Structure 1
Amino acid sequence: MTVLSSRVDVGSDEFAANRAALLELIGRLDEQNALAVAGGGEKYVARHRSRGRLPVRERIELLVDPGSAFLELSALAAYGTEFTLGAAIVTGIGVVSGVECVVIAHDPTVRGGSMNPYTLRKNLRALEIARVNRLPVLYLVESGGADLPTQADLFIPAGRIFHELTALSADGVPSIALVFGSSTAGGAYVPGMSDYAVLVDQQAQVFLGGPPLVKMATGENADAEALGGASMHSRVSGLSDFFAVDERDAIRIGRQIVSRLNWVKAGPAPSRVPRPPRYPADELLGIVSADQRVPFDPRDVLARLVDDSDFDEYKELYGTSLVTGWATLHGYPVGVLANHRGVLFGEEAKKATEFILLANQSNTPLIFLQNTTGYMVGTSYEQAGIIKDGAKMINAVTNSTVPHLTVNMAASFGAGNYGMSGRAYDPRFLFSWPNMRQAVMGAAQLAGVMSIVGKASAANAGREFDAEADERQRQKVERQIESESEAFFMSGKIYDDGIIDPRDTRDALGIALSAAHSARVAGRSGFGVFRM
């Protein structure tokens, strides 16, 4: 049997301290998620309802199949910025008429659903997820267009939205626009470039230039409904494919369109009947170390993630700071690479490279569980070729074509972030736990390096070293890096697809795996497994 045994002492003081620390962070996560759900706040939600319109999340709830899960993505976009948390848009993966779809929905309670730079990043990431995983797109449109004060950061890159929509169509991946309100200027091209467009009577207004712009440009006093209303576009211009009498009717039509897509997944179905882990997910809270300098065994995490806690470890006795092996998760075969004790040595890099090649030979998706301080440094390691070994691992990650799913469990520093399929290496999905930190290196190490460089610079210049000023600068840098490396800050920049409660990791990965199997699942061919 390859079933993992639990080595966790749930009654220990260490377990209790770890659990308390993580619960505090989860409480903070819940508070931030509540702020994102609140959108523009009570005043603007009430005004929106008074106009007979549904809030964005109620629209989504009516759209997705009853009782099904909705995996929201990038919920904390724009965290720590001047913009409203969530960036005036809701994105995620939901099941509509039995089909997994990417949902992109404007929140009109936030500045009329207008787009700021973080809205754009979040929108483009959702479209990228749709493209690489071959997922139909449902756009729930009600937006005043660009947030004009930030237009310099929007105008050029926003054209990518329309590029992605037309590229999806060319690849045979349908997009459906349900237009509930304004869709102006460049936003008019969303229904214009979607495969299907549904417009709501007396609400949808789609035009390149609204009445004020028409007046300025031509002198014409245009009526908004005649210029771009649902009735006009359904009867005259032909932009609208379906005329909806109200919002619920539009959602009904959207669901009906999806039901008639004849959509078939290109990847294989789960190969086994899913069996829950033998240990409760709640115990994950006590396993993760409150102090990032203290390692934890990823096998204890895997015992609470994979089906039946069954894990067939690969090269168990070699390169022991990286755990690799085979399992199933929600019935899908997966390979796992999980950091143990943080540092990646040459042995771990070579072991990872071989394992990734094996996964590609067997068309097996890979899950990366990150908790790494990076590749080992020092004279003996440089002489042993740590750069070459790390490069082999990064090469394998880069060129692997099976789906990658990454979870940042704790530390994610230096090139270890790259080797463990960080954001720059295009994992299909990347989630963070709320205790996660990622940066070039740890805050204390980075501040210390700058201090050493400062001392050397002073010595080389023949000037006296100001120890007091150096200590002030060191503390300032350490505070800055601590703040900028935390999960909430990084998620706000959309460097992940969302922060998740560790207890939800199994289901989040299950939804992501199922979504990834909407596309063909195939490893890179043309090379065999080679020893290094």
Structure 2
Amino acid sequence: MTTLRSHIDTTSETFRRNAAAFDDKRRIIAQARAAALAGGDAKAHRRHAERGKLTARERVMRLLDPGTPFLEVGQLVAHDVYDEPVPSAALVTGVGTVGGRPTMVFANDATVKGGTYFPLTVQKHLRAQKVARQNGLPCIYLVDSGGIYLPLQEDLFPDEYHLGRMFRNIAEMSALGLPQIAAVMGSCTAGGAYIPAMCDEAVIVRGNGTIFLGGPQLVRAATGEVVDAETLGGADLHTRVTGVADHIAENDEHALELVREIAVRNSRRAVSGPPREPRPPLHDPAELPGIISAGLREHIPAREVLARLLDGSEFTEYRSRYGPTIVCGTGHVGGYPVGVVVNDGVLFPESAQKAANFIELCVQRDLPLLFLHNINGFMVGAEYEAAGIAKHGAKLVNAVSCARVPKFSLVIGGSFGAGNFAMCGRSMGPRMMAMWPSAKSTAVGGEQTATVMALIRGDQLAKEGRTLSAEEEESIKRPIIDTYERQSHPLYYAARMWVDAVVDPTDTREWLTLCLAMAADGPQQETRFGVFRM
């Protein structure tokens, strides 16, 4: 084991310039986060309060064990995606402790479009259910939703991973012994009615909670019957006549008390703490923004990052002299052991082989894996193609894909092309994935793409005996660069649920600790690797 020592001059002009540039990026994320936390507009909040209802985030905080953290999933989803604001996709999801057990919580935000489900709301709901299943977590649904957003029904209803998948997931997780608990705290309409109906146990709030497949307007349109919401699907009906709900609550606070009692009653296992006492790094994580290049063109030293993330800055490195452009080794975060794979340059054949071998070792030892991305991709060129870079890179992608230990992914710099796959990008199935505010990710870098397109156009003109002027080249390249710049931004990724969070470097240790704690008592799976091409 080595104690990592920092060689960064925190008084240098470069450090100060990097930190200042990072603050600009941090402000963009802070503004988006404030909008997400605010939820709907003042008028919607006023109507909500007049009905005696807590907000979605108030409900979550009162449900959780006092003083315990909340690992939010998808806070920035839907930011600037639709024609009108839909903060957090009208749904709060995340992992918190309820009755001493980590639990996935879903809370519809009725101050945002009545809590209706937009396409990204469905994606967010399904993502949270996937996290719950992977980590063996119970689910609590705090329901207050008007159902699907009907103008976008074709993006919500018919496909395998649309609305119906939510109900299938509830049934399958219940079958796995993962408690599914619902509290109906407002409207629960149409397909949404199946959430409490399919849960193991359900609470409904008198006067505010309603459950019906067709609301009063739909019933009138379909049958001509005129009926009010309470008579059609209120708490008295569903607890006394239909049995769709099991318990009646007088208000939100009472409902949350009942849900906590149900959760405690259904908790079947104790939660283990970290295997060793957490220790802070020797070097301050607050220094990380000054280490990150303002434009991601400069090298981000891998060991300097690890010195500010790992407990005690202690790191046992694997093959430190072989394949040095990728750093692999073991350490602890928040007292939890973890195998770390972090880029320290472009991936060469030997780098890929080294990382693949290290992943095999972590799987054998049941060690969770943490991937820290700062990668342009695999090395290209005739020499490296002849050396089998595609074959060796495929070994790493194979190992990453098949490893069944918990995997967590964090983009700290760039993450481009096949390098993203090799470093456990979203398509490789990390349990949780985040980006730093300064990070970027696209299939290929914007400037490289623009240059390729300009070269192609230049070759076409050359066949006609013409040359590409500087003005024509700029007219080709500039729109591509601008588009890639916008699409590579972490806020763009988080808004589309391509990552679960945008995490500040200073908060990264806490985020990682919560991720590792969430997975620590989860189900274990056997790993079987695919065929490695030798």
TM-score, normalisation: structure 2: 0.96
2:336 equivalent among 310, 332, 345 = 332
Give the deviation of 1:518 after TM superposition.
Answer: 3.0
1:430 equivalent among 410, 429, 433 = 433
Give the Cα–Cα distance (whole angstroms) in 1 for the partners of residues 533 and 126 of structure 2.
Answer: 39
Give the deviation of 1:423 after TM superposition.
Answer: 0.2
Give the deviation of 1:331 after TM superposition.
Answer: 1.7
- Kindly provide the amino acid, as one letter, of the partner of residue 443 in structure 1: G
* Range with bigger deviation, 147-156 or 269-278: 269-278
Give the Cα–Cα distance (whole angstroms) in 1 for the partners of residues 348 and 201 of structure 2.
Answer: 52
The structure-2 alpha-carbon separation of the partners of 1:265 and 1:521, relative to structure 1 and needing over 3 Å to count, comes to: farther
CA contact (8 A) 1:362 1:523 kept: no
- Aligned pair 1:241/2:246, yes or no? yes
Give the Cα–Cα distance (whole angstroms) in 2 for the partners of residues 462 and 4 of structure 1.
Answer: 59
2:256 equivalent among 241, 251, 264 = 251
1:214 equivalent among 219, 227, 238 = 219
- Kindly provide the amino acid, as one letter, of the partner of residue 165 in structure 1: I
- Aligned pair 1:200/2:200, yes or no? no
Give the deviation of 1:265 after TM superposition.
Answer: 6.3
CA contact (8 A) 1:333 1:365 kept: yes
Give the deviation of 1:525 after TM superposition.
Answer: 5.6
Give the deviation of 1:271 after TM superposition.
Answer: 2.1
Render the CA deviation track for 1:8-54: whole Å, top value 9, x for unaligned. Answer: 21111111111111122112211111111111122211221122111
Q: Number of residues paired by the alignment?
A: 529
- Aligned pair 1:173/2:178, yes or no? yes
The structure-2 alpha-carbon separation of the partners of 1:305 and 1:462, relative to structure 1 and needing over 3 Å to count, comes to: same
RMSD between aligned residues: 1.8
Give the Cα–Cα distance (whole angstroms) in 1 for the partners of residues 280 and 380 of structure 2.
Answer: 40
- Aligned pair 1:513/2:516, yes or no? yes
Q: Secondary structure at the match of 2:338?
A: strand
1:463-478 equivalences under 5 Å are: 465=468, 467-478=470-481
Q: Secondary structure at the match of 1:260?
A: helix
**Identical aligned residues as a percent:** 43
Q: Which residue of 1 aligns with 2:308?
A: 304
- Aligned pair 1:108/2:110, yes or no? yes
Give the Cα–Cα distance (whole angstroms) in 1 for the partners of residues 309 and 533 of structure 2.
Answer: 30
Q: Secondary structure at the match of 2:3?
A: coil
1:364 equivalent among 360, 367, 380 = 367
TM-score, normalisation: structure 1: 0.96
- Aligned pair 1:284/2:273, yes or no? no
Give the deviation of 1:318 after TM superposition.
Answer: 0.8
Q: Secondary structure at the match of 1:375?
A: coil
Render the CA deviation track for 1:263-296: whole Å, top value 9, x for unaligned. Answer: 3269x75321211211211111211111211011
1:21-420 equivalences under 5 Å are: 21-82=21-82, 83-156=85-158, 157-264=162-269, 269-341=273-345, 343-420=346-423
CA contact (8 A) 1:363 1:522 kept: no
Q: Which runs of 5+ in 1 are unaligned?
A: none
CA contact (8 A) 2:189 2:212 kept: yes
- Kindly provide the amino acid, as one letter, of the partner of residue 437 in structure 1: K
CA contact (8 A) 1:99 1:263 kept: no
Give the deviation of 1:108 after TM superposition.
Answer: 0.4
Q: Secondary structure at the match of 1:198?
A: strand
The structure-2 alpha-carbon separation of the partners of 1:525 and 1:481, relative to structure 1 and needing over 3 Å to count, comes to: closer
CA contact (8 A) 1:361 1:525 kept: no
Q: Which runs of 5+ in 2 are unaligned?
A: none
- Kindly provide the amino acid, as one letter, of the partner of residue 421 in structure 1: C
- Kindly provide the amino acid, as one letter, of the partner of residue 517 in structure 1: A
The structure-2 alpha-carbon separation of the partners of 1:31 and 1:265, relative to structure 1 and needing over 3 Å to count, comes to: same
Give the Cα–Cα distance (whole angstroms) in 2 for the partners of residues 184 and 397 of structure 1.
Answer: 41
- Kindly provide the amino acid, as one letter, of the partner of residue 422 in structure 2: G
Render the CA deviation track for 1:331-351: whole Å, top value 9, x for unaligned. Answer: 21110000112x111111000
CA contact (8 A) 1:89 1:107 kept: yes
- Aligned pair 1:493/2:493, yes or no? no
Give the Cα–Cα distance (whole angstroms) in 2 for the partners of residues 69 and 102 of structure 1.
Answer: 13
- Kindly provide the amino acid, as one letter, of the partner of residue 146 in structure 2: G
Give the deviation of 1:522 after TM superposition.
Answer: 5.0
